Amino acid sequence: MTFSIKPIVLAISSLLLSNSFCSANAFANNTVAPNASEANIDDIEVITITNQRHRLGIENNESYAQGKTTEPDLARWLMSVPGANVNRNGPVTGIAQYRGLYGDRISTTLDGQAVIGAGPNAMDTPLSYSTPLIVESMTVYRGIAPVSAGINTIGGAIDVKMRKAESHNSDKLAVDGDLQVGARSNNEAQTLSSVVNIAKGNLGGLFYANLQDGNSMESGDGKKISPTVYAKRQLGADLRYVGATSETGFSYHYTDTQDSGTPALPMDIEYIFSHRASLDGNFMLADWQADWLLGYTDADHGMTNFDMRLNSNPEKYRRNNATGITTNFKFTVGKAFSFGGLSFGLDGYLAEHDSVITNPNNAMFEVVNFNDVEDNRLGLFAQWQQTYSETKIQLGARLKRAESDAGEVATSMAMMMPMASTMNTINSGMSSTMPSMADLAKNLRDNFNHSDRSVADTNVDIALSTETQLSTELSLYMGLGLKNRAPSYQELYLWTPMESTGGLADGNTYIGDINLKSETAYQADIGFTYQTPKAMIAPHVFYQNIDNYIQGTPLGMSDMSAKMMAQMMSGDNNPLKFTNVDAKLYGADVNGHYYVNDHIQLSAVVSYVRGERRDINDNLYRIAPLNGQISASYFTENWSANLALVIASAQKDVSLTNLEKVSAGYGVVNIDAQYYVNNELTLRFGIDNLLDKEYQNHLGGYNRVKGSEITLMDRLPAEGTSGWAEMTYSF
C-alpha cells in the first residue's frame, strides 16, 4: 500500500490556516508562555551566536560566538563556532559546513521555517535569505542534533531566530527601532538598514528595509577577485497579536538580489526575487502547549555566464532561469510530566522546481534542465527529556517520508544534426564512428523520459544525548545518533552532464541517478566541559560511519553517452555520476575562554575533521583543514576591543576522484573595537587581514572566470586588508 505526502501536507496546512484565526481567543481560561513547548525540553549542547547590536561586557560575554551586522549574508557568523565552517562560492553564496558535511545535509531554518532555494547550484542559500540587522540570534546544535531540529539533520542543524514585533501592553502608541549604516574599504561596500517597531495594546508591527552593495574584492597581493560584486535589497514586516493565552503573527520578507558574482561557479547571479510569507503562533491545547507555523516561499532566479564575466563566444552564451515554490508547515505540542518533558511534532514541506537554459543569441536553443520537479518531505517526531540526579537525558525519534517526481525534459540539441550511429552502438561504447551531439542528447533525453521518475523513501532518525554533571566544574556530554538523508532532486534528476550540483563547485560536470538510496549515518560524540568563574574549556571528539554516502564517481560504460556529451559540450574529461559509496568522518573540536582579570579575556576555537571513503582509498571532497581562532579581548564600561588570529593548516587530504587541489596553510590577524557612546549610539570599527596576507581558503573554490587576474581553475584568493566601520542608532 502506498500513500502520497502532498494531500497530507495540504490538508494539514489548511487546518493550521483555519485555526490561526481562532486560536487567539480560544483558550481564555489558561495561561501561556510563547514557545513553552520548547522551554519544556531544553536542548543539550546548543551554541548561540548573538547579534552585535546587543551591548557586551566581560561580565555577560559568555558567548564567544558573535556576528557582525554588516555582512552580506549570515554564513560568516558560523566561523566562530567549533566544528563549523563555510563553503564560499561568492560574497552572498555561503554554504554552511559542520564537521565536514554541508548543503542540504544540514537543516537550516529561519524561525523554524525550512528555506528551499530556487537555484539548482545553491546560489540562493538559506543563510542569504535574511538580513543581519533583523536577526536576533543564530542557534547551532553541537554534537548530535535533536530530531526536533529539522527533517535533514544528518550534518547538524542551524536555526536563525528573527526579530519579531513586540507589543508593550500599553494604551499609548510606542515607536522604537534601529538605524544602521556601514562601510567596508576593500570592496567599497555599503550598508544601510533600518528596523522600526510600532506597538499599542496587544498589537505590534515590525518593519524593516536593508540595502547592501559592494564592488569586487582585492586579494592580499592586489589582484582583483572578479566578479565578487553584489547588490541586495530586502524589506519585510512582522505583525503580531499577543493575548493572555496565545500569540498569532504574520511575517513577510522580500529579497531582491541583483548582479552578484559567484566566481567559483560557471554562472553569476543575474537576479533573485523571493517572496517569503508565514503565519505562526502558539496556544494551549488542554494542558499541552502548542506551537504552529505555516509558510510559503516563491523564488525566481536568473543566472548568466556573460553579463559579469568574459565570454568571447556568443554561441556559448547561457542564461538559466530557475524557479522554486515551497509550502511548509510545523506543528508541535509539549508538556511536562513527572517522568519528564514530552514533545510531539509534525512538519514537512512541498517544493517545486523548474530550470530552463537558453541562449539570448539563439532563440532556438533550449535545455529543460529540471521540469516540474517535486520534492516533498514529511516528518513525525517524538522527543522526551528528563533529569535523573546529575544526568540530563534527551531521547527522540523521527519517522520521515520523502517523495520525489519529475516531468519530461527536452533539449534543442537533439535536433541539431542527423544521427551518426544507432543508440545501441552509442550505449555499448564500441562505435567506430563518432556519434553526433544530436545522437547523444536524444539518447540521454529519451532514457530519462522513458524511466520511472517517481521515487519514495521512508526513513527513521534516532538521537540520544546525555549530559552529566560530574562535579561542580566538570560535566560530560555523550551522544549517539542514527540519521538518514534522502537524495536531493539534483542528485536524482540531473539527466545531462552539467554543474547543477547544489554548489559543489569542483569544476566537474555531473549526471544524477534515479536509483540512489538514502544516506544512513551512525554517529557518536563525546565531550567535556570544564567551567569555573575564570575559565571554560569544552573539547569534543566525534565519529560517524555513513552508508550509501552520495558522492560523484567516474562514469562507466553504461553511461558512455553522458561521458561523450560532457567531452563535446565542455571539454570535461572527468564527468561524474552521483553514486552511493561508503564514507566516514571523524575529528575533534574545542572552544574555551579565560578571564585574565576584570578587563581582559582570552578565547579560542579549534576544529579538525577528516573525511574518507571506506570503499576505496580516497578522501571526501571540500573538507576544511585543521583551523581555529585565538582572540584577546579588552573591556571597559564603554569600550571593547578584540585582537584575533585566524589560522588554518595546509590541506593535503584531498579528493582524487574530484581532482581536488591541495592548499597551503595561513595565519591572518583581525582587529576590531566597539564604543558605546550612550544608550542610543554605538560605533564599531576594525581591520580584517591587518597584515594584508595573501592566502587561499581551502573552502573558497576555484576560479571559473576567464580573462580575470586570477588564473583559470586556481584556488580563489581571500580578501586582502579591509577596514570597516558601522554605526547603530537606537531610538
Lowest pLDDT segment from 62-66, 244-248, 294-298, 441-445: 62-66
Count CB atoms within 10 A of the CB of residue 201.
Answer: 14
pLDDT higher than 90, residue 9:
no
Q: Where are the beta strands (DSSP E) in 425-518?
A: 455-469, 474-485, 510-511
Q: Pick from 26-30, 41-45, 70-74, 471-475 the range whose average pLDDT is largest.
A: 471-475
More confident residue, 3 or 243: 243
Residue 32's pLDDT is 33
CA distance 590 to 521: 23
Q: What is the pLDDT of residues 127-183, one digit of tens each?
A: 999 888 899 989 999 999 999 999 999 999 999 999 999 998 888 999 999 999 999
The pLDDT assigned to 8 comes to: 66
Within its chain, how far is the Cα of 411 from the centroid? 32
Using the predicted structure, report yes or no on whether residue 420 has a pLDDT greater than 50.
Answer: no
Rounded Cα gap, residues 507 and 503, in angstroms: 10
Q: Please, what is the average pLDDT of the chain?
A: 91
β-partners of residue 333 are: 290, 344
Confidence of residue 335 (pLDDT cuts 50, 70, 90): very high
Mean pLDDT of 387-412: 97
Is the model's pLDDT at 29 over the cut of 70? no
Q: Which of 72, 21, 79, 20 is nearest to 47 (CA)?
A: 79
**Angstrom distance (rounded) from CA 501 to CA 517:** 17
**Domain 5-407+453-730, CATH homologous superfamily name and number:** TonB-dependent receptor, beta-barrel domain (2.40.170.20)
pLDDT-wise least confident of 37-51, 85-99, 487-501? 37-51
Q: For 99-118, what is the mean pLDDT? A: 94
Q: State mean pLDDT over 586-590.
A: 98
Residue 302 has pLDDT above 60, yes or no: yes
Please give the radius of gyration of the chain, using alpha carbons only, rounded to the nearest integer. 26
3-state secondary structure 74-126: CHHHHHHCCCEEEEECCCCCEEEEECCEEHHHCEEEECCEECCCCCCCCCCCH
Strand ranges, E, within 470-575 = 474-485, 510-511, 519-531, 535-554
Domain ranges of the chain: 5-407+453-730
Cell 582587529, residue? 671
Whole-number Å distance between alpha carbons of 652 and 670:
26
Query: How does pLDDT run across 76-99, given as a tens digit for each residue?
Result: 899 989 999 999 999 999 999 999
Is 70 exceeded by the pLDDT of residue 52? no
Nearest to 107 by CA among 134, 76, 144: 144
Per-residue pLDDT reduced to its tens digit, 183-225: 999 999 999 999 999 999 999 999 999 999 999 999 999 999 9
Say what the pLDDT of residue 64 is: 46
SS3 assignment, position 555: coil
The rounded Cα 486 to chain-centroid distance in angstroms is 17
**What does the block give as the cell for 526?**
563525546
Q: Taking 80 as the threshold, does the pLDDT of residue 430 lie above it?
A: no
Number of other residues whose CB lies within 10 A of the CB of residue 337: 11
Tell me which of 239-243, 313-317, 349-353, 429-433 is least confident.
Answer: 429-433
The pLDDT value recorded for residue 570 is: 85
Cβ neighbours of 662 (radius 10 Å): 12
162-171, 315-324, 443-452, 651-660: segment of lowest average pLDDT: 162-171
User: Is residue 59 predicted with pLDDT exceeding 50?
Assistant: no
Q: How many CB atoms lie within 10 A of CB 183?
A: 17
**pLDDT computed for residue 73 by the predictor:** 85
C-alpha cell at 136: 536576533
**The pLDDT value given to residue 425:** 45
